[in-house]
Amino acid sequence: MEIKICGIRREKDIQIINKYNPEYIGFIFAPTRRYVSPTEAAKLSAILTGDTKTVGVFVDAPQDVVREAVKTARLDAVQLHGSEDEDYIKNLNIDCEIWKAVRVRDGADIPDINGADKILLDKYSEKELGGTGKTFDWSSVGTVKTDKPLILAGGLTKDNVLDGIKIFSPVCVDVSSSVETDGVKDEIKVKEFINTVRNRE
């Protein structure tokens, strides 16, 4: 089971990541409080010491902006968290994995998306495109119409992540706000989340 710690933006965050070595970290390139520039992401990536890979999170960014960020930050994957469609993905022309976020509505099917390597499941919100810190109703999900690997996000904590893993059998779990205190990454919370996932029976 892979783990992604999203919203990395400080050198201290990287020190925590180097200590616990999750499979992925996420840099937010959309205008939120966790935003970092591709140049800043490149500097942070340069002090990674383990095998952790980097993911850039974009929301309806122009394709040339995504391509430039991939080069500047040397990303291993891009996570498209807006309304990007299959044509957008087809014409993106980048040499790394593409993860497409699906904002899950209660009772809705989980679709397949041509061109995406993995599908990320997050909670639907009318006001926000991601980062709500809330789970969607796992019991009300309709048919899963894709064979692509799933990534589970949205309100995961050390207390509910194992239930989510049992229900969706994702290849990766993605966490951000629940491993923070006062808006910054908290080493104890990161450690507890990672240990919960890695030490599950």
Q: What is the pLDDT of residues 152-198, one digit of tens each?
A: 999 999 999 999 999 999 999 999 999 999 999 999 999 999 999 99
pLDDT class of 100 with cuts at 50, 70, 90: very high
Residue of 59, 57, 87 lying closest to 70 (CA atoms): 57
What integer is the mean pLDDT of 48-55? 97
| 27-48 mean pLDDT | 96
Residue 33 has pLDDT above 70, yes or no: yes
For tokens 């499941």, the residue is 121
pLDDT for the residue 137: 83
Tell me the whole-structure pTM to 2 decimals.
Answer: 0.94
Collapsed DSSP state (helix, strand, coil) of residue 181? strand
Residue range 55-77: average pLDDT?
98
Q: What percent of the chain has pLDDT over 90?
A: 84
Sign, CA dihedral 190-98-129-163, equals negative
Is 152 strand, coil or helix? strand
pLDDT at 10 over 90: yes
What is the set of domains in the chain, with CATH numbers?
Answer: 2-198 (3.20.20.70)
pLDDT at 105: 83
Q: In terms of pLDDT, which residue wins out, 188 or 107?
A: 188
Residue 131's pLDDT band (boundaries 50, 70, 90)? low
Q: Mean pLDDT across the chain, nearest whole number? A: 93
User: What residues pair up with 195 in beta bridges, in sequence order?
Assistant: none
Q: What is the mean pLDDT of residues 18-45?
A: 97
Q: Which of 74, 60, 42, 54 is nearest to 6 (CA)?
A: 54
Q: Please, is 126 exposed, middle or buried when counting C-beta atoms within 10 Å of its C-beta (0-12, 13-18, 19+)?
A: exposed
Q: Can you give 42-110 as a three-state secondary structure string?
A: HHHHCCCCCCCEEEEEECCCCHHHHHHHHHHHCCCEEEECCCCCHHHHHCCCCCCEEEEEEEECCCCCE
What is the longest distance spanned by two Cα atoms in the chain?
A: 44
The pLDDT tens digits of the residues spanning 135-155 come to 888 888 889 999 999 999 999
pLDDT score of 135: 80
| Cα separation, 17 vs 23, whole angstroms | 10
